[in-house]
Amino acid sequence: MAFSKIGVVGCGLMGSGIAQVCAQKGFRVVVREANQELLQKGLDRIKGFLAEGVKRGKVQQADMDKTLANLKGTTNLRDLADVDIVIEAITENMDAKKALWKELDGLCKRETIFASNTSSLSITDMASVTQRQGKFIGMHFMNPVPLMKLLEIVRPEIADPATYESVRQLGESLGKVMITAKDTPGFIVNLLLVPFLCEAVRAVENGLATPQDIDTGMKLGCGHPMGPLELADYVGLDTTLYIADVIYGQFKDPKYAAPPLLRRMVLSGRLGRKSGRGFFEWEGDKRKGS
């Protein structure tokens, strides 16, 4: 299937990044958010990212203008009725996702492919509320989407081969490097990443070392571009906790059990970058002192 018009639901950090990358590659994009305030915030994030690229000489002004011309923001789900694919990037809540997909299933044309950007939830479970299970797949982009090359395609057993191939070609046209995972909790990346992050939190909890020294050890000792605690802050400690709980709920393996310290930090509002404080202090997208 050839794509010309792409729908993105959610214009938060992930959704805006997905919408931006698609628009930059010449696709017409309709991005939908729940209300005008959140929509404008997301569109402003895209404009700011592109403007910074122009300032640094990495994006041409003409390319920025073309990208923004390819983008349309809306708060009306019906504006996605004629898109070729819908990429969902809303909150990691299965009930919310199912409600969205059920509504979209009645709005979109029958050939439209549905793709979720979920980082841990079952694609098969989402697809169960629709009449297009063969056209349902996972497209797990990495954050920040415009900079990270990886796209994790989650291929449930119910997905038609043609759906997988169409999405693979789309990912290729977006300039992504793709890996394919089965529809199991955490897929590939988070299945391996979550225990790593949890162990780093446990190291702090047990007084092994400071967050700074733990991160420096992994960066300089193992060649990681970002330490595990800074990464957890960047992703969001609440998101990290949620994914850990989802995977632990499926496997009951202690390595996925969230450390009590992580849970306490989330309960106290220390969510990392998004709240300005987690294991480190943040100013916008930048960690203080980095």
Q: Which of 119, 120, 122, 166 is catalytic?
A: 119
Kindly state the helix (H) or strand (E) to which residue 138 belongs, with its residue range: strand 136-141
Q: Which one of the listed residues 116, 152, 166, 230 is annotated catalytic?
A: 152
The residue from 33, 140, 166, 230 that is catalytic is 140
- The separation between CA 92 and the C-alpha centre of its own chain, rounded to angstroms, equals 10
Q: In this structure, are residues 289 and 242 in contact, taking their beta carbons and an 8 Å threshold? A: no
Q: Are 42 and 68 in contact (CB under 8 A)?
A: no
Burial classification of residue 270, based on how many CB atoms lie within 10 Å of its CB (0-12 exposed, 13-18 middle, 19 or more buried): middle
Provide φ and ψ at 216, rounded to 5°: -65, -40
Residues in a beta bridge with 74: 32
Active site residue 173: no
What are 230's two structure tokens?
Answer: 């800074």
* Dist CA 9 CA 150 (whole Å): 20
Is 290 tagged catalytic? no
140 annotated active-site: yes
Point out the catalytic residue in the list 16, 70, 166, 190: 190
Residues designated catalytic:
119, 140, 152, 190
